[in-house]
Structure 1
Amino acid sequence: MAKIRFYLTNKRAKGETKLYCFINYGLYVEEKGKKKYLPLKYTTPFQVLPALWNAENNRAKETIKWADADKFEISQSAVDESARENRNKFNDSLAVLELNVNRIISKLTVNNRLPRHEQVKKELDKIYYPDKVIANVTEIDYQSFDLIQFIDHLIRSKSDLKLTTIKSYLVVRKNLQEYQKKHKGSVTPQNANIDFYNSFVSYLTGKGLSKNTIGTRIKIVKSVLAYANEKKGVEVSQDYKLKSFAKPREETESVYLTTDELSRIYDLTLPKSLDNVRDLFLIGCDTGLRFSDLSRLKKDNINSDNTISITTQKTVKKVVVPITPRVRNIFEKYDYKLPRVISNQKFNQFLKEIARYAEIKEPVTITKTVKGMLVTRTVSKWELVTSHTARRSFATNAFLNDVPALAIMQITGHRTESAFMKYIRMSPKDNAIKLQSHKFFTQMAVVK
């Protein structure tokens, strides 16, 4: 993997200055018996004020100066939110460039022979300075593109793609490369028919991927084919519109924690590292906020009417959630400065330990498809607890306590009630207990 460092073109600039980078991908010459590495210098199109750049972290600084000017007339919360969004967008652009660099070098490396600087620069220019590259080209022949070329084109041309989306596209790109190598042929929009679908699904299944993971890959393939057909007028096999060309899926065994189990977790005495994770998890259980939003909660998000307001990172929509006494206690415990959120992987690892300490050990039988075979096993409930369990617990417990589904959906972001009902996790016993209080069951009298 290439090592990439960004630098300001003019550190003393009064206005914005471009970033350039040095890309060290292992290219070298030998001088007097020693290796002399040859990093590629590349000027990016990204500009930043020197005062907003953190040279040590190689990313934009965390400062309210990133906020849009009009937000200062609204509230401090609006300023913080705007600054965070603009800074993250800038830093994501740098992360995408790093992804593109490594993809290009991998693509151009043949028989372990690294590409020349000019080759790498030319490919980068196609993405970041396309006008320079196609100045002498009258028209792009999209009809000759295969699926991999269309994925590259989408990544280059669609500026609104999120970093997570680009990563997903690159994974599918790699899958297609490996598939083509195995089957010794190119996958084009014209031959991406139902036979390809069955073969590609079979190939991914053989790699040990779950049905839902394969479904995500197929969803991207379908979106690429739709783009080629509808946006670029390319002749495409229309099989991708068939019901049989659907993305595979299966129900996953996602658990929720009952109000009693959450109380047991809350009452635990834990070391600080687990204590922080426990408290953030419980905020998620009581607010329904995603893991990505928990780290962004501040005192400014708390309103005088005992609610939390935040624009969610995933949907960029504002949600307002009532504050429970437990959430209020946790905020006060940290003087409204919540602990830093660790990586999702580490968070989930600690969370399982916490659930085990709370003796959440109800047996749960899970069934999933592994290499095309159904595999069933029984585990303790604590083994299935993850950061996402918080949102499921919030939705399920709220529903069981007769909060209207549409009101919960305003917080969880589900667009349809059917999608929401699939999301909540209610056991047959939970359902029976809930029905006991319904007037249909309480009004029945025994006739003698």
Structure 2
Amino acid sequence: MATFKIIIKKAKREPVILDDGTVTIYIKYTHFEKSSLFSTGVRVSYEDWQDDQRYPVKGVGKESKNRRINQFKSYLEKLVGDLIQKGVEPTTKNLKAINAHQQEQAKQKEEQEIRKKTEENVILQYNKFLEYSLTCKEKSTVRTLAITKHKLQKFMAYHKIKTLSVLEIDLSFYDKFKKFLSEKEGNSDHTIGNRIISLKNFLHWYEDRGGKVHLDTKRRAFKAFRETQPVPIYLTKDELETFANVDFQEEHFKWVQDYFVFQCNTGLRIGDMLLLRPHHIKGDVIEMISEKTSKRIFVPLTPKAKEILSKYDNRLPKKLKHRYNLYIKDALKIAGIDSLVEIRRKFQGKDQTITVPKYEAISSHNAVKTFITLALQAGISPKTVAEITGKTVAVIIKHYYGSNEDQLKAEMAKAFG
């Protein structure tokens, strides 16, 4: 005969009360006068204990505690039923053995779930992605990727999310993340687009290594924002000449001037220019492999580019990229490169046009646009410019080539008189 009873421990007929005033509730299993105690894991104040087999706990939280106790009792009753069904005598020893086995399995399953959640944790995996990126991407790209991780952490903190699985990155997450970046962080659509691009790069990396991602991430709706295609901003030939002839007194403006003028005369990306070494200079040309595209670059040197290289013994001073981009604006402002230009962007899905002095809109990237535009205006073919810069003709025409009003007038006059 097997019986179950909900009890608390007693010693010499007195309840065993712990130092904090609580008692542990057990299930007493008896089989042919042999008994064993099984802890329910529920502890309550001794005052809340009552010897009631249906509702052993009273006071605050009694419903959930009574439910847990009775569920554990039902679990033991089922184990006894399973033993009988298998033709095994449900002795206290056998019940203890099967309960220990079940508890061990439950523990292993829980540990497996914890490991799985840890393995799928977005921040943990993103850290691995950043470590990988350091081995094969530009430092500026890694910084952009790191900013996206920081934004993810801020998003989780704002929404009080302790852990986030990679599989939880779906369209619902996408919409909330975009809203957070726009409304709470004040990011433009262009910046939000960069964050989404970084996130998608991470997801591709994770999936390529056997991780599972949500199917939503492959939908067209899970996309980066794109701004209205801006008109390329560049320095005209006269503006470049004006800037090149300024006699700067501050040392940091002197090297910034040389950097920018050299870029405008060679079309080199800032990353490639910083990697330029004497062995890349072969007579009147620069020959090197582009850091970003891994394509061969072949740049015939202009007299101005030669002059700058000669000044530094064919090794430009190594400076920080972000300082260069910061100082360019100030240097151009001093040089009077301040004609007004319009910048188009999207913010919260709406087109915006703002007007700023040209120096505010210039970075090292615009030096490449200046080279390409001036080269094309001078009659160099797009194919030749593509060979020099390591870009495609389509990319050059779409993203880098700007035309000025004088050129347009001249071409119209030539065509129509």
Q: TM-score range by the shorter chain?
A: 0.5 to 0.7
Deviations 1:36-81 (A, max 9, x none): xxxxxxxxxxxxxxxxxxxxxxxxxxxxxxxxxxxxxxxxxxxxxx
Which residue of the other structure, out of 398, 401, 408, is the alignment partner of 1:432?
Answer: 408
Q: Distance in 2 between matches of 1:159 and 1:295?
A: 18
**Residue 154 (structure 1) aligns with:** 129
What is the aligned counterpart of 2:153 among 177, 195, 215?
Answer: 177
Between the aligned partners of 1:246 and 1:371, the Cα distance in structure 2 is 15
Closer, same or farther: CA 183–142 of 1 in aligned 2, 3 Å: closer
Aligned to 2:335, which of 334, 340, 358? 358
Map 1:311-330; keep pairs closer than 5 Å: 311-330=289-308
What is the CA RMSD across the aligned residues, in angstroms?
3.2
TM-score (structure 2 length as normaliser): 0.62
- CA distance 1:244–1:429, shift in 2 (3 Å): farther
1:389 to 341, 344, 366: 366
- 2:254 and 2:207 mapped to 1: Cα distance? 53
1:37 matched residue in structure 2: none
- Name the aligned partner's letter for residue 213 of structure 1: T
- For 1:303, the equivalent position in structure 2 comes to 282
Q: Give the Å deviation of 1:257.
A: 0.6
**Is 1:413 equivalent to 2:359 in the alignment?**
no
Q: Do the aligned partners of 1:293 and 1:312 also contact (CA within 8 Å) in 2? A: yes
What displacement does 1:247 show?
0.7
Contact 1:268 1:358 in 2 (8 A): yes
Letter of the structure 2 residue corresponding to residue 355 of structure 1:
L
Question: 2:170 pairs with 193, 203, 213, which one?
Answer: 193
Match of 2:345 in 1: 368
What TM-score, normalized by structure 1, do the two folds share?
0.58
In structure 2, relative to structure 1, the CA distance for the partners of 1:228 and 1:401 (3 Å cut) is: same
User: Tell me, what secondary structure is at the counterpart of 2:356?
Assistant: strand
Candidates 219, 228, 232, aligned match of 1:242: 219
How many residue pairs get aligned? The number is: 299
The 5-angstrom pairing of residues 324-343 of structure 1 reads: 324-332=302-310, 334=311, 336-338=313-315, 340-343=317-320
Shift in Å, 1:218:
1.0
**SS class of match (2:167):** coil
- Verify the 8 A CA contact 1:309 1:318 in the aligned structure 2: yes
Which protein has greater RCO, CA pairs closer than 8 Å, 6+ apart? 2
1:2-17 equivalences in 2 (<5 Å)? none
CA contact (8 A) 2:190 2:345 kept: no
Distance between the aligned counterparts of 2:344 and 2:256, measured in 1? 29
Q: Which amino acid in 2 is paired with 1:190?
A: L
Distance 1:335 1:189 in 2: 50
Residue aligned with 2:168, SS: coil
Q: Which residue pairs with 1:422 in the alignment?
A: 398
**How far did residue 338 of structure 1 move?**
4.9
- Cα distance in 2 between the residues matched to 1:180 and 1:419: 38
Residue 214 in structure 1 maps to residue 189 in structure 2: no
2:259 is matched with 280
Is the alpha carbon distance of 1:301 and 1:229 closer, same or farther for their aligned partners in structure 2, counting shifts above 3 Å? closer
For structure 2, the 5+ residue unaligned runs are 1-111
Q: Is the 8 A contact 2:240 2:261 kept in 1?
A: yes
Q: Is the 1:311–1:318 contact (alpha carbons within 8 Å) kept by the matching residues of 2?
A: yes
Shift of residue 392, structure 1, vs aligned partner = 0.9
Question: Which entry has the higher C-alpha Rg, 1 or 2?
Answer: 2
5+ residue gaps, structure 1: 1-136
Amino acid at match of 1:301: H
2:247 paired residue number: 269
What is the letter of the counterpart of residue 149 of structure 1?
Answer: L
Q: Percent identity?
A: 26
SS in 2 for 1:365: strand
**What CA distance in whole angstroms lies between the structure 1 residues aligned with 2:131 and 2:315?**
38
- Given that residues 208 and 371 in structure 1 are in contact (C-alpha distance below 8 angstroms), is that contact kept between their aligned partners in structure 2? no
Cα deviation code 1:63-104 (max 9, x no counterpart)? xxxxxxxxxxxxxxxxxxxxxxxxxxxxxxxxxxxxxxxxxx
Does the 8 Å contact 1:155/1:161 carry over to 2? no
In structure 1, how many angstroms separate the alpha carbons of the residues matched to 2:386 and 2:125? Answer: 36
Q: Is the 8 A contact 2:231 2:402 kept in 1?
A: no
Equivalents in 2 of 1:156, 1:344: separation in Å?
A: 21
SS at match of 2:166: coil
